[in-house]
C-alpha cells in the first residue's frame, strides 16, 4: 500500500507483543503454510484463463496475519533508530530516509489541509510541506524522548507559512494594482 492510499498500518503484531526498539528486533517473517484447496480463474485476461488460484477459505486462521498492527509512529521510531546507526554515505541510509519520508507524507497532507482555503494549488502546499518534513527527518534525534510527529509538525507548518509569506504581498494592496503587476 502506498503513502497515497494512507498506509498508516503496515506491520502486524500479536496483542501481547510490544513495539520493537530496533529494526533487527522484527526478525524474519514466517512463511504461510501450504494451501490444500485450489480453484481456477474462469475469465480474466486471455493468457491467464484456467490458471490455478488458492481457495482462501482453505487457509487456516492461524496462518493469516493478526489484526493488530504497528502504526506509523512505531515503525518510524524503528526506522529512526536504524537511520542513526547507519553511515552518512551508505545507500541503505538513503533508502531508510526515503522510507521515512513516504511513511510520514500523511502528516504533511494533514498540515497542508489547514491551508486549503488559500489561493494556491494543494500540490504546491504539499510539496512545500514535504520540504519541511525532510528538514525535520534530518534534524530529528530519537534519543530525546519526543515523538516524531510532535517534532515535525511545527517544522512542516512553519515551512508552509514561510511559503505563503514569500509569495504574498506584505502590505494590503488593492486588487486592481496587484493585477497590473
Is residue 48 pLDDT above 70, yes or no? no
Confidence of residue 31 (pLDDT cuts 50, 70, 90): low
Domain containing residue 96: 3-25+68-167
Same structural domain for residues 91 and 46? no
Confidence of residue 170 (pLDDT cuts 50, 70, 90): confident
Same structural domain for residues 40 and 75? no
CATH of the domain at 94: 1.10.1740.10
Which grid cell is 115? 491551508
How many structural domains are present in the chain? 2
Same structural domain for residues 36 and 93? no
pLDDT tens sequence across 71-126: 777 888 899 999 998 888 899 999 999 999 999 999 999 999 999 988 889 999 99
Same structural domain for residues 104 and 35? no
Phi and psi torsions of 39, nearest 5°: -105, -170
Same structural domain for residues 72 and 161? yes
Percent of the chain scoring above 70 in pLDDT: 61
Same structural domain for residues 110 and 156? yes
Which grid cell is 46? 486471455
Same structural domain for residues 126 and 74? yes
Same structural domain for residues 48 and 88? no
Same structural domain for residues 43 and 123? no
Is residue 6 pLDDT above 70, yes or no? no
Confidence of residue 7 (pLDDT cuts 50, 70, 90): very low
pLDDT tens sequence across 151-169: 999 999 999 999 999 888 7
Cβ neighbors of 26 (< 8 A, separation 6 or more) are: 11, 20, 78
Same structural domain for residues 40 and 119? no
Same structural domain for residues 112 and 139? yes
Burial (Cβ within 10 Å: 0-12, 13-18, ≥19) of residue 158: middle
What is the value of pTM for the model shown?
A: 0.57
Beta pairing partners, 69: 12
Question: In whole numbers, what is the pLDDT of the chain averaged over residues?
Answer: 75
Same structural domain for residues 35 and 111? no
Establish if 177 belongs to a structural domain: no
Inter-residue contact 136 to 156 (CB < 8 Å): yes
Structure confidence at residue 106 (pLDDT): 94
- Give the residue, 34 or 75, on which the prediction is more confident: 75
Establish if 161 belongs to a structural domain: yes
DSSP-assigned letters across all residues of the chain: --GGGT--EEEE--TT----SSGGGG-PPPPPPP---EEE--SSSGGGTT-EEE-GGGS-GGGSPPS-EEEHHHHHHHHHHHHHHS-TT-HHHHHHHHHHHHHTHHHHHHHHHTTTTSSS-HHHHHHHHHHHHHHHHHH--GGG---HHHHHHHHHHHHHHHHHHHHS-SS---HHHHHH-
Amino acid at each position: 500500500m502506498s503513502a497515497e492510499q494512507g498506509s498508516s498500518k503496515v506491520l502486524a503484531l500479536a496483542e501481547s507483543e510490544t513495539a520493537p526498539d530496533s529494526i533487527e528486533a522484527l526478525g524474519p517473517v514466517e512463511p504461510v503454510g501450504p494451501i490444500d484447496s485450489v480453484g481456477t480463474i474462469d475469465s480474466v485476461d486471455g493468457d491467464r484463463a484456467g490458471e490455478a488460484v488458492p481457495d482462501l477459505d482453505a487457509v487456516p486462521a492461524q496462518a493469516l496475519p493478526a489484526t493488530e498492527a504497528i502504526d506509523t509512529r512505531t515503525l518510524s521510531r524503528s526506522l529512526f533508530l536504524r537511520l542513526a546507526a547507519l553511515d552518512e554515505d551508505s545507500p541503505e541510509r538513503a533508502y531508510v530516509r526515503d522510507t521515512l519520508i513516504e511513511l510520514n507524507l500523511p502528516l504533511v497532507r494533514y498540515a497542508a489541509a489547514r491551508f486549503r482555503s488559500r489561493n494556491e494549488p494543494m500540490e504546491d502546499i504539499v510539496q512545500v510541506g514535504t520540504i519541511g518534513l525532510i528538514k525535520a527527518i534530518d534534524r530529528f534525534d530519537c534519543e530525546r524522548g519526543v515523538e516524531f510527529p510532535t517534532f515535525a509538525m511545527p517544522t512542516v507548518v512553519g515551512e508552509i507559512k514561510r511559503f505563503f509569506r514569500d509569495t504574498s504581498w506584505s502590505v494590503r494592496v488593492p486588487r486592481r494594482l496587484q493585477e497590473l503587476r
